[in-house]
Amino acid sequence: MNASSFKQNVPADQPDTLIYLDHCATTRPCPAAIDAMREALCTNWGNPSSLHCMGTAAQHLLQQARMTLLQTLGYENEKPENLIFTAGGTEADHLALFGTTYAKAQHLHGGKIIISDSEHAAVEQAAQALETMGIEVVRIPTRGGVFDMDAYQKALTPHVFLVSCMLVNNETGAVNDIAAIAAAARRVRSDVTIHTDAVQGYQKFPFRLSKLGADLITLSAHKIHGPKGVGALYVSPAVCKSKRLRCIITGGGQEHDMRSGTENMPGIAGFAAAAAWGDKQLREHLKKLHMLRDHLLHRLQTDLALSEIQCNYPQSALCAPHILSITLPHIKSNTALNFLSARGICVSGGSACSSNHPQISRTLLHFGLDRNAADSTLRISFSPENTIDQLDRFADALREAVTTLIRFS
C-alpha cells in the first residue's frame, strides 16, 4: 500500500503535500471502512434490537462484525458474547477496571489491583477513581514503558484481583510480555483477571488470544484506519463463565447485558471492515512499518546535523515498529510542532488524548529523562500509507528546525 491508496482530504489551509506522522493519535479511515459505514447508514440502518426485518438485518450485521473482530484476534472457541462493543478505547478500559471491581464488590475487603506507572490516562484515572472507593492500587515501575517484572513479582499477593498493563506503550512503542505477567499472577491467584489495553498493539504488533494470556483486551477502531467513537472489549470465556465482569452502563441490556444503549452500527461496521482489511495485509503492513522506522532511524543516526537528537526506545525490549520517540536538543516540543506543522508535517508532542491538558510525560520521566528533555520530545508514528520520500522530507524539515530553532533557545 502507498499514500495514493487513500484519497487526500487535507484542510484548506494545509499544503497539498501534507505528511501525516501522528498515527498513534488517529488514522485516516480506509476505503473499506468508509464503504461499510455508508452501507450501514444508507441501506442497513435498522436497530439491531427490533424484531422486524430491518432489525433482523441489522442484528445479522452486528453479529457478523463481532465475529470478524474475534477472528482477527485468533478466534478459536470464542462466542459472540466474548466481544463487547463500546464507544471507544476509554470506555472499554473503564468497563474492564470498574466492571471487574463491581463484580468483586461483595469480596473486596483488602482487595487490590496492579497497574503499570505508565498506563494510558484512561486506565490511570480509572485507577485513581477506584482508590477513592477504597481500592488499593499498586503501580509497578517502568522504564521506557517496560514493566519491571521483579517489582511486580514482589507486589503480587492473593489479594490482587485485577492486573492491568498496556500491550504497547503509546509513547515509546515498548512491548510488554502480557503472557509472562498473566502467568506470574495466576501462580499466586488462579482467578485473577488480566487486562491489557491493546489499542496501540492491535494490528501493529502480532498477537493471538491463545498466546497473549489476557482475560480482557481493549481495542479501538480509529487507531487501525476505522472510524472514531467505537471500540471493543474482548472478554475471555473464563470471565464470562465466572461472571467476573459487570456492566457499568445499564438500560436496555444490549451487548449481552454488558453495555446498554443502541449500538453504533455505522461505527461497528466500519470497525469490522477496517479490522478485516488490516488483518488480510498484516504481514505486508508490519514489514512496511519496520522498513519505515529503520529508514528514519538511519537518517537520524547518520545526518550530522541531526546527531544530537536522542532516540528514546528501550534497548532490551521488543518495540512495536510504528512508534519512534525523539528528544530534540534544547527545543521545546510545542515550538518544534508549530515549526513542522507550518510546513505541512504532523507529529505529536506526546499522547494526543491529553494534549488539551499538557503535562510532562510520566513514561519519559520514568525512562530517565529530566523534565526539560521530556518537554523537548516528539512522537513520530507511522502507518503503511507513509513513504520513504515522506520520511526524507520530514528529516530535512527536522534538520531545518534544529539548525533554526536552537539559535532562539
Q: Whose CA is closest to 93, among 188, 210, 226, 234?
A: 234
Give 199: exposed, middle or buried? Use CB within 10 Å, 0-12, 13-18, 19+: buried
Write out the H or E segment, with its range, that includes residue 185: helix 178-188
Average pLDDT, the chain: 91
Q: Whose CA is closest to 29, among 326, 227, 275?
A: 227
pTM of the shown model: 0.93
Query: HSE on the CB side for 79, CA within 13 Å?
Result: 8
Per-residue pLDDT, 352: 46
> Which amino acid, residue 340?
L
> Which amino acid, residue 293?
R
pLDDT in tens, 245-274: 999 999 999 999 999 999 999 999 999 999
> Widest CA span of the chain, in angstroms?
69
Alpha-carbon distance 246 to 250, whole Å?
10
The answer to whether residue 311 is catalytic is no
Alpha-carbon distance 384 to 138, whole Å?
37
- Any idea which of 16-20, 177-181, 225-229 has the lowest mean pLDDT? 16-20
Q: Label residue 11 by pLDDT band (50, 70, 90).
A: low
pLDDT in tens, 349-381: 864 455 555 678 888 888 888 898 899 999 999
Distances (CA, A) of 229 to 73, 219, 222, 265, 266: 20, 12, 8, 11, 10
Distances (CA, A) of 133 to 31, 113, 208, 243: 45, 13, 34, 21
* Strand stretches in 121-215, DSSP E: 136-140, 142-143, 146-147, 160-164, 193-197
Bridge partners (DSSP) of residue 193 are 162
Q: Label residue 303 by pLDDT band (50, 70, 90).
A: confident
Give 261: exposed, middle or buried? Use CB within 10 Å, 0-12, 13-18, 19+: middle
**DSSP symbols for 11-71:** -TTS-TT-EE-BTTT--PPPHHHHHHHHHHHHTS---TT--SHHHHHHHHHHHHHHHHHHH
Q: Which of 30, 240, 247, 353 is flagged as catalytic?
A: 353
Alpha-carbon distance 150 to 301, whole Å?
33
pLDDT in tens, 139-157: 999 988 899 999 999 999 9
Residue 1 has pLDDT above 50, yes or no: no
For β-strands 83-86 and 231-235, DSSP reports them as antiparallel
Alpha-carbon distance 255 to 263, whole Å?
8
What is the rounded average pLDDT of the residues 94-109? Answer: 88
Q: What is the b/e burial string over 130-162, where b = at least 16 CB atoms within 10 angstroms of the residue's CB?
A: beeeebebbbbebbbbbbbeeebeebbeeebbb
Q: What share of the chain is helix, strand, coil (3-state, %, to 5)?
A: 45, 15, 40
Q: Whose CA is closest to 239, among 302, 183, 297, 193?
A: 193
The full set of domains in the chain, from first to last, is 16-30+282-408 (3.90.1150.10), 31-279 (3.40.640.10)
Per-residue pLDDT, 14: 53
DSSP 3-state assignment of 138? strand
- Any idea which of 4-18, 29-43, 359-373 has the lowest mean pLDDT? 4-18
- Report the chain's terminal Cα–Cα distance, integer Å: 40
What is the rounded average pLDDT of the residues 299-306? Answer: 84
> Which amino acid, residue 163?
V
Cell of 124: 490511570
Residue 56 has pLDDT above 70, yes or no: yes
